[in-house]
Amino acid sequence: MVFGLTAKKLISYDREQSSENLRDNFEAFIKGLISVPLEIPGTSYYKCMQGRKKAMRFLKNKLEERREKPNEVNIDFFDYVLEELGEDDPILTEEIALDLMFMLLFASFETTSTAMLVSMKLLTDNPQALKEVREEHEQILKKRENPESGLTWEEYKSMTFTFQVINESVRLANIVPGIFRKARTDIKFKDYTIPSGWVVMVCPPAVHLDPINYKDPLEFNPWRWEEMDFKGTSKSFMAFGGGQRFCVGADFARLQMAVFLHCLVTKYRWEPIKGGEIVRTPGLQFPNGFHVQIFEKDKKN
């Protein structure tokens, strides 16, 4: 769902009207993203690179098609990229532009869709938390002058408990298992020296699941965030990275999750059917999915 929306907004991609299943290419890329770099047919890394090559070929063909036949009705992000490439002194080369489009498609759906799934699973397993989320969003609806109007920015900012649920979900999920940084100078840390040029891998789960930072760290407890910072990053919370390379899409991801939860709890209810088991490969995966039956609120179909 998230990929379909993102691809439509960025490049006007519609699976129903395309011969290329772009999402399958990204799925192959994601599954082998952190794997032994053996580019041999059959390996995860080979499938990863093939997925990227096919996706990049699709984007290049799309670029050429758009040059020949500009998009005059539904303007998307690709149009702005093409406009920049047409300038006398563009800040992007065609290669960089295609890489940009690839990474935007990847970053704007993969982690967010997984985080949405995790939050839904955790709320399903915690009736009290689900009850408080529902009550918060029902209060938003009650305060509206027009019940049929859309979600407003002020309503979004009022979702205090929802933000707690989002923070707790991404803390437990640790969707990105490692963050890489390169030492620009020699760095002394305790009795160690990290030489300049060395690459350091920061492991967020080691921080987020440390009982020194969080009491009962494996427990889903959104109430723990009542006295903690919601939006920033710190040494004890790095779900969106940190430092100069803090995720530029962090606020957008929170917005997507909040809107999704708002629509979910105000319009629907659901019952789990099967699945829900979580494994790491090393990213977060639901090997058997998470199957639920969804009903319109207060009305079974």
pLDDT digits (tens, 9 = 90+) for 155-164: 999 999 999 9
Query: What confidence score (pLDDT) does residue 231 get?
Result: 56
What percentage of the chain reaches a pLDDT higher than 90?
45
Q: Which of 62-66, 220-224, 241-245, 288-292 has the lowest mean pLDDT?
A: 241-245
Q: In this structure, which amino acid lies at residue 102? A: F
Whether the predicted pLDDT of 109 surpasses 80:
no
List of residues 6+ apart from 173 with CB closer than 8 A: 114, 115, 118, 239, 284
Radius of gyration of the chain (CA): 22
Model pLDDT, residue 229: 61
Residue 219 has pLDDT above 80, yes or no: yes
**Residues of the chain by 3-state class (helix, strand, coil), percent to 5:** 50, 10, 35
Check if the beta carbon of residue 6 is closer than 8 Å to that of residue 109: yes
Spatial distance between the Cα atoms of 285 and 277, rounded to a whole number of angstroms = 8
Whether the predicted pLDDT of 193 surpasses 50: yes
Query: Given this model, what pLDDT does residue 43 score?
Result: 92
The candidate with the shortest Cα–Cα distance to 240, out of 262, 216, 207, 212, is 207
CB–CB of 124/293 below 8 Å?
Answer: no
pLDDT band for position 100 (cuts 50, 70, 90): confident
More confident of the two residues 182 and 249: 182
Q: SS3 for 275?
A: strand
The DSSP letter of residue 150 is P
Q: Band the pLDDT of 48: cuts 50, 70, 90.
A: very high
Percent of the chain's residues with pLDDT above 70 = 97
Rounded to an integer, what is the distance from CA 248 to the centroid of its chain? 12
Average pLDDT of the chain is 88
CATH 1.10.630.10 placement within the chain: 110-296
Domain 110-296 belongs to what architecture? Orthogonal Bundle (1.10)
More confident residue, 22 or 147: 22
**pLDDT above 70 for 68:** yes
Structure tokens at 127: 């009736």
